[in-house]
Amino acid sequence: MSRSTEAVERSEFARLLTELRQQHGLSQGQLAQASRLSRTYIYHLEVGMRTNPSPHVVRNIARALELQGAECQRFYDAYTRLTGQHVEPDRLSSALLELGELASLLVQSTSYPAHSLDRLWFLHSWNAASLRLFEIDPRLAEQHPKLHLLEFVFDPQMRRRFHGWEDLAHRLVSDFLYNTHTMTHLPEYKALWRRLRELPEFKRIASAAYPSGKPAPSFVFQVQHSELGRLTLRTATTVFTGMSSYSMVSYVPGDQQTLKIYREQGW
Which is higher by pLDDT, 61 or 185? 61
Phi-psi region of 192 (alpha: psi -120 to 50; beta: other; left: phi over 0): alpha
Long-range contacts: 89-95, Cβ < 8 Å, 24+?
A: 90/59, 90/62, 90/63, 93/63, 93/68
The strand pairing partners of 231, in sequence order, are 223
CA nearest neighbour of 243 among 62, 126, 147, 118: 118
pLDDT at 97: 54
Kindly indicate the confidence band of residue 98, based on its pLDDT and cuts at 50, 70 and 90.
Answer: low
Q: pLDDT tens for residues 17-57?
A: 999 998 887 889 888 888 889 999 999 999 988 778 999 99
pLDDT at 10: 74
**CATH number assigned to the domain covering 12-83:** 1.10.260.40
Q: pLDDT tens for residues 153-180?
A: 999 989 999 999 999 999 999 999 998 8
Q: Do 20 and 58 meet the contact criterion of CB atoms below 8 Å apart? A: no
d(CA 50, CA 37): 13
Which is higher by pLDDT, 173 or 7? 173
> One-letter amino acid identity for 5?
T
Q: Do 3 and 31 meet the contact criterion of CB atoms below 8 Å apart? A: no
Q: Do 23 and 81 meet the contact criterion of CB atoms below 8 Å apart? A: no
The topology under which CATH files domain 99-265 is: Beta-Lactamase (3.30.450)
Kindly indicate the confidence band of residue 90, based on its pLDDT and cuts at 50, 70 and 90.
Answer: low
Where exactly are the structural domains of the chain? Answer: 12-83, 99-265
- DSSP 8-state assignment for residue 137: -
Q: pLDDT tens for residues 126-156?
A: 999 999 999 988 776 666 567 899 999 999 9
pLDDT at 245: 75
Upper half-sphere CA count for residue 170 (Cβ side, 13 Å): 9
Which is higher by pLDDT, 217 or 10? 217
* Predicted TM-score (pTM) above 0.85: no
